[in-house]
Amino acid sequence: MAKPILDVENLSVDINVPSGVLRAVQNISFSVARGETLCIVGESGCGKSITALSLMNLLPRTARRSADTLLLDGQDLSSLREREMSDLRGNAMAMIFQEPMTSLNPAYSIGNQLEEAMRRHRNVSNSEARDRAVFLLEKVGITGARGRLGQYPHQLSGGLRQRVMIAMCLMCEPALILADEPTTALDVTIQAQILHLLAELRDEFETSLILITHDLGIVARVADRVAVMYAGEFVETGTAEQVFNAPSHPYTQGLLRCIPIPGKTKRGAHLGAIPGIVPNLVGRLEGCHFASRCPHVHDACRSGQLALRPAFEESHHYRCVLSPEACAENLKSGVAA
Amino acid sequence: MSDPVIEARDVTRTFMIGSGFMRAKKPLHAVNGISLNVERGEVLGIVGESGCGKSTLARMMLGLLTPTSGTLHLDGQLVGSADRIEVARILQPIFQDPYSSLNPRKSIGNIIMLPLRVQKDPNPETWRKRTEEIMDLVGLPTRVFNNFPSQLSGGQRQRVAIARALINRPKIVICDEPTSALDVSVQSQILNLLQDLRAEFGLTYVLISHNLAVIEHMATRVAVMYLGRIVEQNETGALFETPMHPYTQALLDSVLTPEPGLGVPDTHLGAAYPNPVDPPSGCTFHPRCAAVMDQCPKQFPPRVAVRGGMVECHLYAGGAGKKARKGKKNER
Ligand SMILES: Nc1ncnc2c1ncn2[C@@H]1O[C@H](COP(=O)(O)OP(=O)(O)O)[C@@H](O)[C@H]1O
Ligand SMILES: Nc1ncnc2c1ncn2[C@@H]1O[C@H](COP(=O)(O)OP(=O)(O)O)[C@@H](O)[C@H]1O
Ligand code: SF4
Ligand SMILES: [Mg+2]
Ligand SMILES: [Mg+2]
């Protein structure tokens, strides 16, 4: 396999909170190849945004990151100083937030901001930067782009702003784009358009994409590889086919039973549920993080540290004491959370 | 047999919107001529993009907003002339945001019994017991009776809102995006609860959601809204299997089910949602429509009755032809 664009091993993030140390992200490992899309999926509070922010080195001051390996295109991110890191942001790696106004400045025209995003990192003339801005705005589906350069963010709808944000991300042809819930605030119709666009651009520019979402539908449709996150850990990783067609971890199985699927779920029938709440992440959790909500929990689940173990197929892993055979049996019998 | 509990006739609601400093205000037709029955015992789903007027319609049904024109009848009585307390006894809301819709300074018990107080229930000595009963029914431990909203999880707060809506046994519950702020594992519990309570009390629901999978699962009939109008309405099965209006078709195409390998469809919905103050001419959907014809920008489309419902589109002007398309599920 070719060298990955991003290689992460045992990434952890601890956050200091009044009651102690909140272990927001715990020893997650993954890599992303060129042109590949990794989706990180999980419910609110599981650590998705903190993971993204830690890669961008944009963590809150109270947070501390550690990792055994953190390589972007072979370059060790953990050894970089903030100045060098800020050279990379928007350049080799760029981030799209749920709310585009997080990154767009209301006081400047969109043309201005797009051009500036390029001039900060590249030695280009004003007209070169402008031409690229127009080219990319058109690429992201904004018609009459040259005439719109003078518009301000507030003059655009949410969907258009997110398109501008994507164009801005692409100004310096980043090797990696991190998108954190990029379509969560948008209507389903606009969501489909934006995701379609991201997939097209990824293919055209061979960009690698880490897409973070709580929406399993999005994940199934855009991911090459999937990481299911629960309480700071990856609990299942694999290709989209493996995770959706043969979910192994009781949490993944439970999540997939919770959502109604038109044409598949019997209309009006009871949906699956995962009773209980996410454990408190302050302090060290013993055993399986899902134990307090798992329908298959037994004594062995509650002690030690569980490692990711291989499922039946290569590159498919899950974190649970149950054997692959037992997991497959649970999936078939429908006894899940 | 038709037995409507809510009847809307040509209901409109217009807001006057300032279009900038010193400029004249312009009308925004948030709800623009809606006629609709909610039948006893059904779950009427209302879908459409944000800003299409769903909440405005709901607030008029609840008597929280008066129609600019048209009439709304609730159980035979004209809303507006009916006593507010009488309306509240028949109809209760559940809103999207379990954070802002609960008073943070009131205890859970007091929040849930509020309707009894407002509706001047004659038996205050029973309030505590009835509150505990309904808490039990919606799955809230009675030990949180004296807690405050901030001490509960999002799912629990939505249960509080449901308990409050149901404590005085209304006939109809209007749920405006009841699970949109919740994680899926909590959403499924709330949806299951709504189903159980409906069976238990014989409730009628108006369920507003932008999540089509939720609507498909819960609703018995669906109305699709676009720019203040209902553009298609039918039984849930028919609407999802053979959507007629091009907008309904595009909406259904946008649903991303968790099935790998299907990719993200191109919905062909080119332009963005139009500015409602300055809606397109003729059929207001025409700038985004994949099937647009010559007459669409010129004439308002006819409202065509079809089997089980209606559709408002020029494609069906000569009667419900063969233009309805099979749902994408069947296509594949
Ligand atoms: N600035 C912060 N201070 C303290 N705790 C935080 C902060 N940001 C996030 N957390 C906590 O870290 C955990 C992970 O949060 P986050 O990554 O935002 O979750 P997600 O994006 O998956 O919803 C949560 O328990 C959250 O409460
Ligand atoms: N109080 C109000 N004043 C002015 N405009 C309003 C008001 N309430 C709603 N609107 C406008 O009416 C339209 C419909 O809004 P709403 O009913 O909230 O839509 P939905 O619930 O479908 O998202 C929108 O364009 C909205 O901006
Ligand atoms: S380790 Fe035990 S508690 Fe955890 S998911 Fe597996 S069976 Fe459930
Ligand atoms: Mg987040
Ligand atoms: Mg609304």
| pLDDT tens, position by position, A213-242 | 999 999 999 999 999 999 999 999 999 999
Backbone φ and ψ of B265, nearest 5°: -70, 155
pLDDT tens-digit readout, B180-197: 888 898 899 999 999 999
Residue B239 pLDDT exceeds 70: yes
Domain ranges of chain B: 4-237
Are B167 and B147 within 8 A, CB to CB?
Answer: no
Question: What's the CA gap between A197 and A32, in Å, rounded?
Answer: 20
- Ligand 1: atom nearest CA of A50 is 17
Task: Kindly report the average pLDDT of chain A as a whole number.
Answer: 92
- Helix residue ranges, H only, chain B: 54-61, 84-90, 108-118, 127-137, 154-166, 184-201, 212-218, 236-241, 246-253, 328-331
| Residue pair B187/B154 in contact by the 8 Å Cβ criterion | no
A297 by DSSP, 3-state: which?
A: coil
**What does the pLDDT read at residue B327?**
44
Residue B16, pLDDT > 50, answer yes
How much of chain B exceeds pLDDT 90, in percent? 67
For residues A277-300, average pLDDT: 92
d(CA A119, CA B33) in angstroms, rounded, equals: 52
Structure tokens, A40:
């990180």
Residues 177-196 of B with CB under 8 A from A: 183-185, 187-189, 191-192, 195
Residue B260 and residue A268: Cβ atoms within 8 Å? no
Domains of chain A, first to last: 6-223 (3.40.50.300), 249-333 (no CATH)
B236 vs A contacts (CB less than 8 Å)? 267
B49 interface with A at CB cutoff 8 Å: yes
Query: Each residue of B25-48: pLDDT tens digit?
Result: 889 999 999 999 999 999 999 999
The minimal CB distance from B213 to the residues A191, A199, A262 is found for A262
Beta carbon of B182 within 6 Å of any ligand 2 atom: no
- Residue for token digits 């004209």? B78
Say which CATH topology domain B4-237 has: Rossmann fold (3.40.50)
Q: Which ligand is nearest to the CA of B49?
A: 2
Interface of A with B in 267-286 (CB under 8 A): 267-268, 270-275, 277
Q: Picking from A15-19, B121-125, B136-140, which range would have the lowest pLDDT averaged per residue?
A: B136-140
Task: Give the Cα separation of A39 and A182 in Å (integer).
Answer: 12
pLDDT band at B100 (very low <50, low <70, confident <90, very high): confident
Contact (CB, 8 A) for A90 and A58? no
Residue ID of nearest Cα to ligand 1 atom 19: A45
Taking Cα atoms as reference points, which of A55, A42, A57 lies closest to residue A6?
A: A55
Helix and strand totals (H; E) in chain A:
11, 13
Contacts of B273 in chain A (CB under 8 A): 157, 159, 187, 190
If you write DSSP's letter for every residue of A25-60 in order, what string do you get? EEEEEEEE-TT-EEEEE--TTSSHHHHHHHHHT---
Q: DSSP characters for B267-303?
A: ----SPPPPTTSPPSSSTTGGG-TT--TTTTTSPPPE
B50 pLDDT band, cuts 50/70/90, is: confident
State how far Cα B170 lies from the chain centre: 17
Q: How far is A115 from chain B (nearest CA, A)?
A: 25
Q: Is the CB of A231 under 6 A from ligand 3?
A: no
Check pocket membership of A294 for ligand 3, CB cut-off 6 A.
yes
ipTM of the complex: 0.89
**Across residues B254-267, what is the average pLDDT?**
90
> Of the segments A163-167, B75-79, B83-87, B244-248, which one has the largest average pLDDT value?
B244-248
pTM score above 0.90: yes
**Position A67 confidence tier, pLDDT thresholds 50, 70, 90:** very high
Task: Report the Cα B38 to chain-centroid distance in Å.
Answer: 11
pLDDT at B323 (0 to 100)? 56
Average model confidence (pLDDT) across chain B: 89
- What are the tens digits of pLDDT across the range A39-58? 999 998 999 999 999 999 99
Share of chain B above pLDDT 70, in %: 93
Say which range, A310-319, B251-260, B267-276, B321-330, has the weakest mean pLDDT.
Answer: B321-330
